[in-house]
């Protein structure tokens, strides 16, 4: 239990009616009872609060003189600052429980906290030493298990694939509303009459987040990696006979047999493209892509907090790469509780 919890507990017990910097009577036994500890430990806690300038305790001397304590920090400000600090430290559950326990005594109640928390998740940018650092924060409403992965070729569970969709790009994507496939990393593609040979033409200037440009070699590497690595998703690539690099931005995939549904295969998250240069080092994944074609003339990027890589159509970001992706585990919360903002400025969970 943190010292801030102890402060809020004592304030709630003794000063909620009197307010800040008003002397209230409190014996050492009463303080110990409120804190749920011995009188000796209660005195140690009070001394720590005094050392930080949070409280001032005057012990009663002589018969009939009762000890007094003054609380010097505003209750509401303390609760709000501590709850936000816990969230930023990754302790969302603890912050939520604190607000539930003490929010009713201030204007920083559960509804106010959830409204702030909804804005905390998503895309944010801050300036550090003259450069922009972009961060994407994702809330998860269940625990990750030991088999979870952000490597597309190793993905299996629905949760893993949901996260991978936020971080990586495929050659094409399924446009469910239009009932067709749309370009992603590939701006154009064609097949032969038998649907056994597929040629994909890549967007130029697509950058992985380590700064390297996407090329046909990365596509070849990613598809063959999935085929040859023994993944449970190997079925997506097992009919690939060969992948030929035609030039820096074009690649031809030859299949063992016709497959008119091959676009559905390459749009699936395990078929996401990773950089050949770094994918052999799992610790560096994820390495997602940002296309230069989505940068405005001013040098910004058209992006979406719900899809930080690939074709990112609407929101103006301040730089061409999102540096960090933070995942917060919130199993006792739900998407409806967070009331995440709609359309393109939210994370859709």
Q: What is the pLDDT of residue 279?
A: 58
How is 256-321 classified by DSSP, letter by letter? SS--TTHHHHHTSGGG----TTTTTSGGG----EEEGGGB-TTS-EEEBTTB-SSS--SEEESSS-
How is 7-20 classified by DSSP, letter by letter? HHHHIIIIITTT-T
Taking alpha carbons only, the member of 287, 321, 326 closest to residue 132 is 321
Residue 328 has pLDDT above 90, yes or no: no
Q: What is the pLDDT of residue 66?
A: 82
Question: Is residue 223 a contact partner of residue 253, using CB atoms and an 8 Å limit?
Answer: yes
Taking alpha carbons only, the member of 284, 286, 32 closest to residue 150 is 286
Local confidence band at 330 (pLDDT 50, 70, 90 cut-offs): low
Q: What is the pLDDT of residue 138?
A: 67
The mean pLDDT of the chain is 78
Rg, C-alpha atoms of the chain = 28
Q: 318 or 112, which is more confident? A: 112
Consecutive H or E run containing 191: strand 186-191
The token pair that represents 75 in the structure block: 């209750």
Q: What is the pLDDT of residue 306?
A: 30
Mean pLDDT of 138-144: 64
Residue 241 has pLDDT above 80, yes or no: yes
**Which range, 205-209, 281-285, 288-292, has the best average confidence (pLDDT)?**
205-209
Cα 38 from Cα 31, distance rounded (Å): 9
Q: What is the pLDDT of residue 32?
A: 92
**Which range, 13-22, 141-150, 188-197, has the best average confidence (pLDDT)?**
188-197
Strand ranges in 66-224 using DSSP code E only, listed in sequence order: 68-71, 122-128, 131-140, 172-175, 180-183, 186-191, 197-202, 206-208
Give the range among 91-105, 146-160, 318-332 with minimum mean pLDDT. Answer: 318-332
Task: Please work out, in degrees rounded to the nearest 5, the angle formed at the alpha carbon of residue 308 by the alpha carbons of 304 and 313.
Answer: 40
Over residues 243-272, the pLDDT tens digits come to: 999 999 999 999 999 999 999 999 999 999
Domain spanning 152-290, CATH architecture: Alpha-Beta Complex (3.90)
CATH 1.10.10.10 fits domain 1-73: yes
In terms of Cβ atoms closer than 10 Å to its own Cβ (0-12, 13-18, 19+), residue 344 is: middle
Q: What is the pLDDT of residue 290?
A: 46
Give the range among 23-32, 107-116, 200-209 with minimum mean pLDDT. Answer: 107-116
Residue spans per domain, the chain: 1-73, 152-290
Question: Is residue 74 a contact partner of residue 29, using CB atoms and an 8 Å limit?
Answer: no
Cα 165 from Cα 12, distance rounded (Å): 45
Residue 241, classed as helix, strand or coil, is strand
N-to-C CA span, the chain:
31
Local confidence band at 42 (pLDDT 50, 70, 90 cut-offs): very high
Q: What is the pLDDT of residue 338?
A: 52
Give the range among 147-151, 171-175, 184-188, 215-219 with minimum mean pLDDT. Answer: 147-151
Local confidence band at 197 (pLDDT 50, 70, 90 cut-offs): very high
Strand-pairing partners, residue 180, are 175
Residue 202, classed as helix, strand or coil, is strand
What are the backbone dihedrals phi and psi of residue 277, each rounded to the nearest 5 degrees, phi first? -60, -35
* Strands laid side by side in the 240-247 sheet: 186-191, 197-202, 250-255, 240-247
Q: 58 or 210, which is more confident? A: 58
Over residues 290-311, the pLDDT tens digits come to: 443 333 222 222 233 233 333 3
Residue 135 has pLDDT above 80, yes or no: no
For the whole model, what pTM was predicted?
0.56
Residue percentage of the chain with pLDDT more than 70: 75
Question: Is residue 286 a contact partner of residue 153, using CB atoms and an 8 Å limit?
Answer: no
Local confidence band at 56 (pLDDT 50, 70, 90 cut-offs): very high
């Amino acid at each position: 239990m943190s010292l801030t919890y102890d402060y809020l507990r004592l304030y709630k017990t003794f000063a909620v009616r009197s307010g800040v910097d008003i002397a209230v009577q409190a014996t050492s036994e009463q303080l110990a009872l409120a804190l749920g500890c011995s009188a000796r430990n209660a005195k140690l806690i009070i001394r720590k609060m005094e050392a930080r300038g949070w409280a001032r305790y005057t012990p009663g001397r002589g018969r009939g003189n009762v000890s007094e304590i003054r609380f010097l920090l505003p209750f509401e400000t303390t609760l709000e600052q501590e709850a936000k600090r816990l969230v930023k430290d990754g302790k969302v559950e603890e912050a939520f429980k604190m607000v539930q326990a003490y929010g009713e005594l201030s204007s920083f109640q559960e509804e106010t906290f959830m409204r702030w928390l909804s804005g905390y998740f998503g895309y944010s940018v801050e300036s550090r030493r003259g450069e922009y650092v972009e961060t994407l924060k994702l809330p998860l409403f269940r625990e990750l298990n030991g088999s979870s992965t952000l490597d597309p070729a190793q993905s299996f569970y629905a949760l893993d694939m949901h996260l991978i969709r936020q971080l990586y790009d495929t050659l094409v994507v399924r446009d469910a509303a239009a009932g067709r496939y749309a370009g992603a990393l590939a701006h154009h593609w064609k097949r032969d009459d038998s649907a056994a040979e597929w040629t994909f033409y890549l967007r130029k200037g697509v950058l992985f987040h380590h700064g390297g440009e996407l090329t046909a070699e990365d596509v070849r590497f990613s598809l063959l990696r999935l085929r040859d690595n023994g993944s449970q998703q190997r079925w997506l690539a097992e009919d690939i006979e060969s992948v030929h690099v035609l030039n820096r931005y074009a690649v031809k995939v030859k299949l063992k047999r016709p497959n008119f549904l091959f676009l559905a295969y390459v749009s699936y998250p395990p078929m996401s493209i990773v950089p050949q240069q770094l994918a052999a080092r799992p610790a560096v994944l994820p390495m997602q892509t940002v296309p230069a074609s989505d940068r405005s003339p001013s040098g910004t990027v058209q992006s979406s907090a719900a899809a930080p890589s690939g074709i990112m159509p609407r929101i103006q970001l301040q730089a061409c790469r999102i540096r960090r992706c933070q995942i917060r585990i919130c199993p006792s919360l739900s998407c409806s509780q967070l009331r995440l903002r709609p359309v393109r400025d939210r994370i859709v969970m």
